[in-house]
């Protein structure tokens, strides 16, 4: 069951939206995608993240987990 307390955003390394959408569709991503050139504009650059990394931030933008295990453990606490 989806958790309304969590929103996932895919930070794509693609610079062309059609490429990002094609890849996201292929792998079954259904959440918003932010293209590489837009990372700074939406604040993703503040976390020093790069493709393949998982960071969890709260609604204030505070970093609460810096890897997949930590992120999913924190998410599980919200259930």
Domain ranges of the chain: 47-79
Q: Which stretch of DSSP H or E encloses residue 11?
A: strand 10-11
Residue-wise pLDDT tens digits, 24-66: 888 887 777 888 888 888 887 787 766 667 788 888 888 888 8
pLDDT at 2: 64
Residue-wise pLDDT tens digits, 1-23: 566 777 777 777 888 888 888 88
Q: Is 58 exposed, middle or buried (0-12, 13-18, 19+ CB in 10 A)?
A: exposed
């Amino acid at each position: 069951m989806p958790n309304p307390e969590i929103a996932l955003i895919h930070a794509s390394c693609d610079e062309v939206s059609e490429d990002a959408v094609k890849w996201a569709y292929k792998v079954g991503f259904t959440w918003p995608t932010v293209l590489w050139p837009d990372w700074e504009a939406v604040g993703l650059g503040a976390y020093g993240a790069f493709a393949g990394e998982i960071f969890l931030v709260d609604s204030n933008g505070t970093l609460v987990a810096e890897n997949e295990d930590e992120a999913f453990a924190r998410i599980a606490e919200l259930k």
